[in-house]
Every structure is written in structure tokens, then in C-alpha cells.
Amino acid sequence: MRKKIVAGNWKMNNDLNQTIDLINELKELKNIKDVSVMIAPAYPFLKTSHDLLEDSPIEVVSQNVHQKSNGAYTGEVSIEMLQSIGVSTTLIGHSERRAYFNESDDVLLAKTEFALDNNFNIIFCFGEELSDRKSKKHFEIVKIQLDNTVMKIKKESWKNIILAYEPVWAIGTGETASPEQAQEMHEFIRNCVENTFDKSISEEVSILYGGSVKPSNANEIFNKKDVDGGLIGGASLSAKDFKLIIEANSSL
């Protein structure tokens, strides 16, 4: 049975005190059944966050990782550094890393393979731009992104993969794919995995939706059969909203 997951990506937000306050509010979550909850604070606060949540089911994950174990890569963070503070999951391929830091499919594949070789878990992000959607190339673009990256990894590594579909046009814009559009793309993604590998893998991999999920639309989106949860941006910075989104997935 696929895992239901709600992951909060805090991006470059919250100072130390704000991070601590938000985590302390989230620690009050009660009666959440059958949902894995993750948060991705900013790098300087990963250790503090992990320590605060040591006795909590909430997992602290990284927003990014480098594809080499060490070296002259100023400003980068390695797998070993993350492992040393108890972090074992990372985002890879977020649309902002692709757009603002020019991370190509080749770089993302290298990061993915290196992380998997080091027993890391990955939330792999991908999705189309507004121009792709308007020109009806959204399926083609998503398939290319997958074929160039995670579809090249070893079959046995899929147990460490979570997929996160991000319609880029619906991130931070207030726009949201309709539940029907989300389901349509998630079903397409699942079929791509099955066609490349097999049905057992496609049925086991969790596929998250990441595009302006809010308390008001979470239940309707999460209720779709191929949507296994969400990668939440802005709404995860509010403990109240994030809790409501988690509860929406838990209630299904």
C-alpha cells in the first residue's frame, strides 16, 4: 500500500526563532493516522530542527544536496554532512533549482544516483511551465524530464523514491491545477513508471502534488486515486494551515 505523505518545503524562509516556533506548534499535531509528515527547513537550522523533532514522527528533510561527497564546492552541502545530523531524505529537482540555479537533467540524474548509492531517500520534483501547458505539451515535457532522470535509475532503487509533480505555473501564483488535472497527470506519471519498469513499482511509488495546495482545496485534490499527498510551499509556513492540510490527507 502506498504511503500518504505531506511534506512542507520552507524554502528560504524563517530565521532560527521562527523555525523553532513553527516546529513547536507542529509538534502539537494529534490523531494523524496513516500520513507521513516531513518538513524541509533552511540549511542552517536542519540540526536544530532534527533535535527538536527527535521524539516526533515528523521527519526533517533537506531542500537540496550536492552530487559529490566533498571537495572545493563553496556553499554546497554533501550527503555525508546531512547523514551526520540525522537527515536521510532530500528534495532533488525542485523547479526553483532548475530555473534559478540552472540544474539540468544531467545534474539531477547525477545527484539522484549519488544519493541513492549512499542509501538516501529522494523526493524527486518535476513539472511543466505555463507555456508547455498552453501549447498542450505538458505530458511530453513531463515524460522527457522523467526519462532523462529517474527512469534511468536501477529498478531496486525505486523503494527510496517519492515523486513530486509540480505544475510550475501553479507555484506561488495562486493558480492551482484542478483536482481533475492533477489526477490526469498523476495517472499519466504512474503509467510512465509502469511502462518503463513494471506495475508493482508504479503501484508502490507515492506521487505528491505540489502546486498551491491550501486547506480549502487539499481534501478534493488528495481524494483523487493517484494523488498520494502534497509537497506544500507557502501554506506550510503557517502551522494552522499546514495542520489542516495534513488532516485533509489523514481523513481519507
What residues act catalytically?
94, 166
How many alpha carbons fall within 13 Å on the CB side of residue 191?
9
Q: Which of 211, 221, 213 is nearest to 241 (CA)?
A: 213
Q: What is the dihedral of CA 129, 132, 135, 141, to 10 degrees?
A: -160
DSSP letter at 226 equals: T
- Residue 159's CB is within 10 A of a number of other CB atoms, namely 11
DSSP state string for 88-105: -EEEE--HHHHHHS---H
Handedness of CA 238, 101, 134, 91 (dihedral sign): negative
CB atoms within 10 A of CB 86: 15
